[in-house]
């Protein structure tokens, strides 16, 4: 579905009086970084720059934001990673939006761009990745659907969530990329078999986080063993007991919760043997 830009129902807002920006292709050699407000490039920054360069596409390159300064140069307000990546790829010019502002406003713009931008949520990224037929997204969707569940590509209010709807996109993605797609399917299949009351809360991050990561720890148990584990002790009781232990022993909640389920799964395997 295609949507137009529609704001007729909103009250108009008059922006501050300011010169209109210019759009141009600017030589990379004329772009400079002002260390008074820009972030330094450490190893992680250089790793990010090299990742951009390794898979460089103009369709993914947002114009850099520049301000003209003395000497015919341009101060980079936003986009130094992209500009460096373009240089590595041998491009002499990059698309830029050029705005005439003072150095103080350059710094304020840097803060604004890097702190107030609206980032896409994990479900929104998943939706776009499925549309783009990204392998990881297809694998995540298929692993969840194989268990009779649905990996959600948009958020819902707690009241509107239904049993079998999985919103833990980042968890599923991490497991799939780690070669544990089978654990996603097995763990969710067991939940579906255990859940005879269509409880949406069972598919929340609160339960899925420790449960699926525990299932991923061991490949030796069949699905019926996992169902038996869930039927043997209520998942919420397991998590509550784990939280008490974590508080007493001063250990991370996530690790303690996962380990509690790991112990139950392995004990069920020994009993079955």
- For 138-197, how does the pLDDT look when each residue is reduced to its tens digit (9 = 90+)? 999 999 999 999 999 888 888 899 999 999 999 999 999 999 999 999 999 999 999 989
Mean per-residue pLDDT for 115-119? 65
239 sits in which H/E element: helix 235-249
Q: Identify which of 158, 125, 161 has the alpha carbon closest to the alpha carbon of residue 140.
A: 125
| Per-state percent for the chain, helix, strand, coil, to nearest 5 | 55, 10, 35
Give me the residue label for tokens 């980032």: 119
Q: Is the pLDDT of residue 42 over 60?
A: yes
pTM of the model: 0.68
**pLDDT confidence bin for 270, thresholds 50/70/90:** low
For CA atoms 156, 161, 162, 167, give the dihedral sign. Answer: positive
**pLDDT confidence bin for 266, thresholds 50/70/90:** confident
pLDDT for the residue 269: 59
């Amino acid at each position: 579905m295609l949507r137009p830009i529609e704001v007729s129902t909103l009250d108009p807002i008059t922006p501050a009086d300011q010169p209109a920006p210019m759009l141009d292709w600017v030589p990379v050699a004329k772009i400079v970084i002002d260390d008074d407000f820009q972030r330094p490039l450490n190893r992680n920054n250089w790793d990010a720059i090299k990742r951009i360069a390794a898979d460089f596409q103009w369709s993914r390159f947002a114009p850099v934001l520049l301000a003209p300064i003395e000497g015919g140069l341009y101060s980079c307000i936003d986009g130094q990673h992209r500009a460096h990546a373009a240089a590595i790829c041998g491009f002499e010019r990059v698309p830029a939006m050029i705005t005439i502002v003072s150095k103080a406003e350059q710094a304020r713009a840097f803060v604004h761009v890097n702190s107030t931008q609206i980032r896409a949520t994990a479900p929104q990224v998943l939706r776009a990745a499925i549309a783009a037929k990204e392998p990881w997204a297809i694998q995540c969707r298929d692993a969840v659907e194989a268990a009779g569940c649905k990996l959600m590509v948009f958020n819902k209010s707690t009241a509107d969530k239904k049993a079998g709807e999985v919103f833990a996109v980042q968890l599923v993605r991490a497991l799939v990329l780690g070669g544990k797609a089978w654990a996603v399917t097995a763990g969710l299949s067991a939940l579906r078999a255990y859940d005879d009351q269509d409880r949406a809360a069972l598919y929340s991050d609160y339960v899925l986080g420790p449960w699926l990561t525990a299932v991923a720890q061991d490949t030796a148990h069949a699905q019926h063993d996992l169902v038996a584990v869930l039927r043997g002790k209520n998942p919420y009781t397991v998590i509550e007991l784990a939280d008490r232990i974590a508080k007493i022993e001063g250990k991370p909640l996530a690790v303690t919760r996962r380990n509690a389920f790991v112990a139950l799964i392995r004990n069920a395997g020994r009993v079955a043997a």
